[in-house]
A and B are shown apart, each in its own frame.
Chain A
Amino acid sequence: MTQVQLNAVRKEFGSFVALEHIDLDIQSGELVALLGPSGCGKTTTLRMISGLDNPTNGEILFDGNDVSDVPVRDRNVGMVFQRYALFPHMSVEKNITFGLRVRDIPASEVSERLEEILDIVQLTAFRDRFPAQLSGGQMQRVAIARTLITKPSVLMMDEPLANLDTNLRGEMRRFIRELQQRFNITTIFVTHDQVEAMELSDRVAVLFDGRLEQFDTPDGIYHRPDKTSVAKFMGASNIIDGVVGDGGLKTAFADLSIGDGGAFGAGSQVKAMVRSEAIRLLKEPEAGAQNQLSGTIRTADFFGATVSYVVQVGDYELNVDEHSTEMLEPDTPVYLQLPSDRIWLFPDEKG
């Protein structure tokens, strides 16, 4: 159980600034995702927490103690690399016990802990195999076991689900979640995949260009992003310009009623986000419904469980996701309902 804090951490590689300035406060036992596009500095952050790289400025604290000068091997952290970094010339057993053998742990304790961890990661039958003889999921379990056996204070994972196929991802996601809760270990993982970040973590830190944009729960990041850049990265497609009026929002295609202008006073220039799955799509209008707009389907893309429509409303196009139980053809006239409590406002960043 370790609390991890990053205070004003900055990292430069020569003239290249990998991380501008990061403040991050990760609670003990929390599972946090560092999410961002490639090159945003998330892996650099992970490497600095592990001690593989040192920050140019700022400090990294474990339970309030500055560890910036503690060398990697004394930091007692665990890291699961994206491509696992297993030792190819060692059997599963030797890979897993490596961290104990280099610390001169007595052989009896090594074998005791080995049996225990082999059982947890369900690799007892594969103990004598070599990494080249394992599947991706098995290699990842070896990498996790090799780390957990050393009882690290912080567990780090670089893109833990990226190299696994779809079926295995679900299984591994549950496995990592279970392990993390069982060991109650502070866990930080890096991903560029929004879904992976949301399905696995307690909180998500969104990083763009070496800056922390938002640090919040998956629900907060998804439904209540601080900025349109975060919203767009989280897949929001309907971001609309508007002006806050009295209890409503004036947009180019309609006056929408909004639950609560929040911090925005009347006359504020804002941007509004409506998630495509929050919009209801109807073939017939409903009497007395709020924020009901008429439009025409432009395109319909079938994704299996859902259908993604582009609906023309006046001069504006809105994206709408619906269950695929009924599929409507392009050029069908439809009615859209935008629930007022599903309209989220940001300040207009251009202004």
Chain B
Amino acid sequence: MSASVRTAAQRKARLLLIAELSPVVIVLFVLFGGALVLAVLQSLGFAPWFGVNTFPDFSYFGALWGSSAFWVSLWLTLYYGFVSTIIALIMAIILSLALIKPFRSKTLYKYLYKLPLMIPYTVGIALVVLMLGNGGIMSRLLAFVGMIDNPGQFPQILKTHYGWGIITVYVWKQVPFMTLAIYAVLLGIGRETEEAAAILGANRRQIFFSVTLPQILPGIVSSTLICFAFNVGAFEAPFILGGGYPDTLPVVAWRYFNDANYAFQLQGMATVVSIGIVSGVILFGYLAAYRRYERMRGRA
């Protein structure tokens, strides 16, 4: 009797757990997983709704990976992703360390730095065009103070393959996000270990590299992981602020999808799947290296 009562209770608890987990399971496995499977199938030539079914057909990948433009696009995609993540990270660490210290108007700064989080990327892109474009505010200001003769002499910052415009938007938007994560970790670890290190004779550089940095690593890893994944996959900033052909991979994919010829969708899918493979491999390697480091330091 009591055994059957217990199993009934257990069954109920299990049903509740399934109900609680189902939203994420549905989104992750059905919507996202289903789309992923479809994308892979299409990239391998399975698209009967366009009247194409040559599955399994690696020619789309072959055509893509065989062109030198793809590799330049891949390089540009990774370059923008890496550089903006690293610049944003350095700035976010400096900002987080500053915010930990007591100073006047700290409350104001704690609101101010979060402002870009609430502004959409597109608005950020528009602001960059307004500020840094030729004929933008910076060029006019420099001309006004006489550093250049006319706004036209302002160096080309946007629409080059250096991607300073893209990097500026990513950094502007992601510094607050990373700061949020790192600052929270810093608050959690408190100041005591740093104070202990100072009393033990460590200088500021030693304290940062051997005491603070290893402890904020979880915040650094999680926030850079998210930002890098976004930067590699984002489309609008490189589309508007990039240097044109060869474009970053998401822009390349978009051009295929946007083509009047439906058959190019399959080529686009191959591009999307390639982005997924590359960023997946990089992020997996990053996480694995971090796990290894954590295990070395006694954390499970």
Which residues of A pack against B, CB within 8 Å? 50-52, 72-79, 81, 83, 85-91, 98-99, 102-103, 129-130, 132-133, 146-147, 150
- State whether A130 touches B206 (Cβ < 8 A): no
Q: Which listed residue (B195, B200, B215) contacts A98, Cβ 8 A?
A: B200
- State whether B298 touches A132 (Cβ < 8 A): yes
Most chain B CB within 10 A, of A75, A81, A87, A90, is at A87
Of all chain B residues, the one with the shortest Cβ separation from A79 is B199
Of all chain B residues, the one with the shortest Cβ separation from A82 is B192
Interface of A is mostly: loop
- State whether B206 touches A88 (Cβ < 8 A): no
CB distance from B21 to the nearest CB of A (A): 29
Check A73/B198 contact, CB under 8 A, given A89-B214, A102-B203.
yes
- State whether B196 touches A79 (Cβ < 8 A): yes
Chain B residues with CB below 8 A from A78, complex form: 199
Chain A residues with CB below 8 A from B41, complex form: none
Q: Which listed residue (B199, B210, B211, B298) contacts A73, Cβ 8 A?
A: B199
- State whether B201 touches A85 (Cβ < 8 A): no
Give 23 pairs: A residue, B residue, CB < 8 Å, sorted on A.
A73-B199, A74-B201, A75-B199, A79-B199, A81-B192, A85-B192, A85-B195, A85-B196, A87-B196, A87-B210, A87-B211, A87-B214, A87-B215, A91-B298, A98-B210, A99-B201, A102-B200, A102-B202, A129-B298, A130-B299, A146-B196, A147-B200, A150-B201
Check A52/B211 contact, CB under 8 A, given A85-B192, A89-B297, A130-B297.
no
Considering the complex of A and B, which 9 residue pairs feature the smallest CB-CB distances, nearest first?
A: A130-B298, A99-B200, A85-B192, A85-B196, A102-B202, A89-B214, A72-B198, A89-B297, A73-B201
B197 at the interface (CB under 8 A from A): yes
Report the separation of the CA atoms of residues A132 and B211 in the bound assembly, to the nearest whole angstrom.
Answer: 16
Q: Which listed residue (A81, A88, A102, A132) contacts B201, Cβ 8 A?
A: A102
Q: Which listed residue (A77, A87, A88) contacts B199, Cβ 8 A?
A: A77
Check A98/B202 contact, CB under 8 A, given A81-B192, A85-B196, A87-B193.
yes
Of all chain B residues, the one with the shortest Cβ separation from A80 is B196
Most chain A CB within 10 A, of B200, B203, B299, is at B200
- State whether A146 touches B297 (Cβ < 8 A): no
- State whether A132 touches B200 (Cβ < 8 A): no
Chain A residues with CB below 8 A from B200, complex form: 73, 98-99, 102, 146-147, 150
- State whether A52 touches B299 (Cβ < 8 A): no
Report the separation of the CA atoms of residues A150 and B215 in the bound assembly, to the nearest whole angstrom.
Answer: 24
Most chain A CB within 10 A, of B192, B201, B203, B206, is at B201
Chain A residues with CB below 8 A from B298, complex form: 89, 91, 129-130, 132-133
Report the separation of the CA atoms of residues A77 and B195 in the bound assembly, to the nearest whole angstrom.
Answer: 12
Most chain B CB within 10 A, of A72, A83, A150, is at A72
Chain B residues with CB below 8 A from A75, complex form: 199
Report the separation of the CA atoms of residues A103 and B199 in the bound assembly, to the nearest whole angstrom.
Answer: 12
- State whether A102 touches B199 (Cβ < 8 A): no
